[in-house]
Amino acid sequence: MKKIRALIVDDEPLARDRLRQLLNEQPEIEMIGECADGREAVEAIRKQSPELIFLDIQMPELNGFEVLEAIDAEPMPVIIFVTAHDKFALRAFEVHAVDYLLKPFDRERFESALHRALQQVKYRRDPARVEAQAAVLAEVQTPAKPIDRLAVKSGGRIRIVRTADIAWIESAQNYVEIHEDKQSHLLRETMSAIEQKLSPDKFVRISRSTIVNIEKIKELQPLFYGEYTVTLQNGKRLTLSRRYRSKLPKLGVG
């Protein structure tokens, strides 16, 4: 029987030890590693492609939600979120039927979450499961006041970029690439973090790896399976993926 490849991501050594002990007792599981922070987790996920991840939420470097935004895996691994608090997040998990473990958890609760997760591994490509996970990420992250400028390092200097001048933003591994009409800049940031800083009335996420400035859009053209080509005023063409078709009303498409 093919075993399920599992990864533990938690910054607390005792929490990792507890999960490792419980998982080593499961004949269906192959432990492929442990990570102590978010950036380490992103690298491990990209290299090892786990099918199941026990993912802590509060961690240094990147939190659990930012890890998921950064990996851009296809299909996405099944996630069991692990947290010590945050009642708001727990409500979101329950509403969208995404499983979690609330520290400290007992063996019975662990085995219940694991059983559900093993069933979901079989349906990793199911759009309903993917959308439920995405819905949790959207609900639990509280946006701060939008910024109107960014400071980026360029040629040994710090350049101030007005957000109104940004045409689109795309992910670039551990960075985001910010595109003005004629220039681009690298910023060490995640797509999730930069999205939270921008005004939702002016910037829209159109795929896991792309954010676009609404005011820079020239036209949209429907493609197959719910995708759209988004053409900017400077001629650049981007793709709105079907997972993000709920954003179409923000772009003026009913």
Say whether the peptide bond before residue 13 is cis (omega within 30 degrees of 0): no
What domains, with CATH codes, occur in the chain?
4-140 (3.40.50.2300), 149-251 (2.40.50.1020)
The residues, any chain, with a CB within 8 Å of residue 6's CB and separated by 6 or more, are 23, 29, 30, 31, 32, 50, 51, 52, 53, 54
What is the model's pLDDT at position 101? 85
Q: Where are the alpha helices (DSSP H) in the chain?
A: 13-24, 38-48, 64-71, 87-95, 107-121, 127-140, 191-197
Give the tokens for residue 125. Answer: 């490509």
**Which of the residues in the chain have pLDDT under 70?**
1, 61, 72-74, 85-98, 124-144, 254
Q: Where are the alpha helices (DSSP H) in 163-222?
A: 191-197
What is the model's pLDDT at position 134? 67
Distance CA 254, CA 251 (A): 9
pLDDT in tens, 207-235: 989 999 999 999 999 988 888 999 999 99
User: Which residue(s) pair with 100 in the sheet?
Assistant: 81
Distance CA 218, CA 234 (A): 8
Distance CA 14, CA 16 (A): 5
Burial of 142 (0-12, 13-18, 19+ CB in 10 A): exposed
- Identity at 40, one-letter amino acid code: E
What is the model's pLDDT at position 167? 96
Q: What is the DSSP string of 129-153?
A: HHHHHHHHHHHH----PPPSEEEEE
What is the pLDDT of the chain when averaged over all its residues? 84
What is the model's pLDDT at position 228? 92
Number of helices (H), then strands (E), belonging to the chain: the values are 7, 15
The whole-angstrom distance between residue 28's C-alpha and the CA centroid of its chain comes to 27
- Asked if residues 77 and 50 have their Cβ atoms less than 8 Å apart, the reply is yes
